[in-house]
Amino acid sequence: MKEKLNANAQAVLDMVRAANNHPTASEVYDAVKVVRSHIGLASVYRILHSLVEQKYIKELRHSDDTCRYDGHISRHDHAICTECGALLDVPVDIPLTQEMLEQAARATGIELSSHELRLYGRCPACSQKQKQLLQV
């Protein structure tokens, strides 16, 4: 796969972009099959990888040992639920100074190209469940 996306790849990309959660390969497969019924799971994996390589989408990996995909390629941060593992986009920008980042990068010796802040805590849904449990 070079540059132009074929019908399968376009369908996969559309699906990942349309999803507001971060779908797994299997979820993408199920959704794309509705539109392109012949597509195979192996092709979905192949296409997802090539879309990542071409920077159309990003790969996220988290605790439930499945890869998830993100159609929002602009740099942004994530909140991760320590209870259920949900991975939420942080919709605001956290203004870290270039200085801070560079100082940290220098300390490790890496050539900094990007960064991501991860916030850990209970997500609203799990927070709610917890409260209900305490009331019983």
Partner DNA sequence: AATAAAAGTGAGAATGATTATCATTATTAG
Partner DNA sequence: CTAATAATGATAATCATTCTCACTTTTATT
55, interface contact from its own copies, DNA, none, CB < 5-8 Å by kind: none
d(CA 78, CA 91) in angstroms, rounded, equals 9
- Cβ(57)–Cβ(16) under 8 Å? yes
Return the structure tokens found at 129.
């469940």
Q: Give, as one character, the DSSP assignment of residue 36.
A: S
Of the residues 1, 19, 35, 105, which one makes contact with its own copies according to CB under 8 A: 105
Given the structure tokens 């980042």, which residue do they identify? 101
Assess 26 for contact with DNA (CB under 7 A).
yes
**Contact characters 53-72, its own copies, x per CB under 8 A:** ------x-xxx-x-------
| Contacting residues toward DNA, per CB under 7 A | 1-2, 4, 6, 8-9, 24-26, 36, 38-43, 45-47, 49, 65-67
